[in-house]
A and B are shown apart, each in its own frame.
Chain A
Amino acid sequence: MKVHPRKILAPLAGLLIVGLFWEWLVWYNQWPTYVMAAPSDVGPRFLDFYELFAVYSWQTLWRTVAGLMIAIVVGTLFGMLMGLSRILNDALYPLLVGFNAVPKATVVPIMALLFVGQHDFNTIMIAFMISFFPISVSVAIGLSTLEPEYRDILRSLGASRFTIFWKIALPKTLPEFFGALKVAVTLAFIGTNLMEIVEPHGRGLGHLFQSGRINSDYPLMFAVLIALALLGIALYYVVVMLERIFAGWAVRNPT
C-alpha cells in the first residue's frame, strides 16, 4: 500500500501545533501542574515510568482487544438472528436497546463486586458489553436490507440458506460492520479504562491513572491520558486497515 507523505506529515504538524499551543497556554496562564500540566511536564513522566507504561499499555490493549473480539462474535451472532428473523428481531431489539441504555459506569462497580478479584475477566466483560451493541445493530440492518432479488437468484439454483448468507449477505454487510467496529473500538477502550480505574489493585493504564491521582502526580495523569489517546488512535487505524482489506470495494466506490 502506498502512503502519500502528506498523509503522515499533516497529522504530525497538527500534533505539533496543538502541543505548542498547549505549552503556551499553560505558560501564559502560569497554571500550576495540579490545574493543568504542560507537555514539558508530561514528557519526562513517560521517561520516568517507561517500563510501567509499556506493561500497563499492553494490559489495557490486550484486554480491550479481547473484549472487542467477544463483542464481534456475540454482536454478529445477535445481528444475524435479528437480521434473518422478524420474530427474533422484535423479541431482541428492545432488550438490546435497554441493555445499551444503562450507563456502563453503573455496571462497572456491579461487575467488580460480582466477580471479585477477576480483574482480567471483569475488564474484558465491560469492554465487551459496552461495544457489542453497535455491531449487532449494524449486522442486523445489513442483513435485513438485502435485496430479495439476490435471494431469488441463488435460491432458484438450489443454494442453501447458508450459501446465500456466506456468498452474499455476509460480504454485503461488511461496510456497515466496519462502520460499527470503528465506533465499537473506542467504546471498548472506554469500557476497559472504566474498570481499570474502579477496581482496587487493578492493572492497566486506568490503574496508572488512579495511582497518579492518589499520589497527586498530576503530570503522570496527563501522561496516561496521552498514552490512552495514542493507543486509541492505533486501534482505530488497525480497524481502518482491516476495512480497506476486507471492504475496500465499498470505500473505493461510494454510491
Chain B
Amino acid sequence: MTNLIEIRNVTHAYRTEEGPLPVLDGLELAVPENGFCAVVGPSGCGKSTLTRLIAGLMFPDQGEVWLHGERVSSPRKTVGMAFQNPVLLEWRTIMDNITLPLEIVAPRMSRHARRERAEALLALVGLEGFGDKRPSELSGGMRQRASLCRSLVHKPEVLILDEPFGALDAFTREDLWQTMHQLRAEESFTTVLITHDLRESVYLGDQVVVLSGRPARTQYVMQIEDPVPRPIDMLYSAASVEKLATLRHQIQIAQGRAPAEEAAQ
C-alpha cells in the first residue's frame, strides 16, 4: 500500500537567540491514503512544528517529507488546516469564511458553485442555514465546525488538525468527534490530528503515534483496527480501555516520568 504522507527521518532545529533548539529528531511517520493519524506527545515537544512541515510552510534541516509521491518543497494547494483557534474573519459571513480557500485555490470557480460546495459541507457538520451569520453569532463549537468546513472546502488531499477540539467542553467535543467520522464517511482526505486527548486519539485514529519529549522522535505507534465510523461506546470496550492504558503509559515515558514512578511502586 502506498502512503499518502511519508515523513522520513526528519530532524529540525529552530534557530533562537540562545542557539539552535532541536525540536524534531529522526522522526518517522507514514499515513496511508484516507488514513487518520492521531499524534500525541508532551506539551512543547514539536507537534505543531510537524504540521508546519507537512503543510510545506517550512522545511526540515534533514530528512524528507513526501506527500502523494512528491517531495514537499513549497506550500501546496492540496492541504487544509484547522487549529484550536478557529480564526474566522468577523467581517465575512460564515459562508464567505468557508469559501475563502476557494478564492485562492480556484479563483475561476463560479460564486454559485462555491456556495453550493460550502452549503453541502455546512449541512454535513450540522450548520445548515447558518451561512449568513457572523462568526460572533455562533457558539464555540459551531465556530469550530465552520472552521472544519473551511479546511475541507477545496477538497484537500491532506487535512491537518492542530488540537481543533482542545478548547471545547467535553460534550461539544464528543459531538465534534462524531462529526469528524461523518466527514470521513462523505469526503475523502488523509488526516493528521494533533491532540492532547488520548480518548480522542483512540476514537478517531486508525493509527496513534506517540512522540517523545523534545526533540520529538516517533516513540510508539499503535494501530486501531475498529471499523469507522465508530460508535462512541467503542471507547468503553475492554480493548479500548487497554489501549488507553498503554498510551497513557507511553505518554508518561515520553514525559520522562514513567520509569521513576515504577521504581517508587
Measured CB to CB, the residues of A under 8 A from B are 147, 149-150, 152-159, 163, 167-168, 171-172, 174, 247, 249-250, 252-253, 255
A167, B134: Cβ atoms under 8 Å? no
Tell me whether B136 and A156 are in contact (CB under 8 A).
no
Additional A-B contacts beyond A156-B76, A157-B77 (13; CB < 8 A): A149-B83, A149-B85, A149-B87, A150-B87, A152-B55, A152-B83, A154-B104, A156-B75, A163-B104, A167-B100, A247-B91, A249-B91, A253-B136
- Given A155-B75, A171-B91, the answer on whether A255 and B136 have CB atoms closer than 8 Å is yes
Q: Is the CB of B77 within 8 A of A158?
A: yes
21 examples of A-B residue contacts, CB within 8 angstroms: A149-B81, A149-B83, A149-B85, A153-B81, A153-B87, A153-B151, A156-B57, A156-B75, A157-B75, A157-B101, A157-B154, A158-B74, A158-B75, A158-B105, A159-B104, A167-B103, A250-B90, A250-B91, A253-B134, A253-B137, A255-B90
In the assembled complex, the CB of A145 is this many whole angstroms from the nearest CB of chain B, namely 13
Main secondary structure of the interface of A (DSSP, over half): helix
What separation, in Å, do the CA atoms of A31 and B214 have in the docked complex? 80
Q: Is the CB–CB distance between A157 and B105 below 8 Å? A: yes
Quote the shortest CB–CB distance from A88 to chain B (angstroms).
Answer: 20
Count B-side interface residues using an 8 Å CB cutoff. Answer: 28
Residues of A within 8 A of B103 (CB): 167
Q: B residues bordering A, Cβ < 8 Å?
A: 52, 55-57, 74-77, 79, 81, 83, 85, 87, 89-91, 100-101, 103-105, 134, 136-137, 150-151, 154, 160
Which residues of A lie under 8 Å from residue B100 when comparing CB positions?
154, 167
CB distance from A240 to the nearest CB of B (A): 18
**Known A158-B75, A255-B136: A152·B81 in contact at CB below 8 Å:** yes
Q: Check if B134 sits within 8 Å of A156, measured CB to CB.
A: no
Q: How far is the CA of A168 from the CA of B87 in the complex (A)?
A: 11
Q: Is the CB of A156 within 8 A of B87?
A: no
Cβ distance B175 to chain A, nearest Cβ, rounded Å: 23
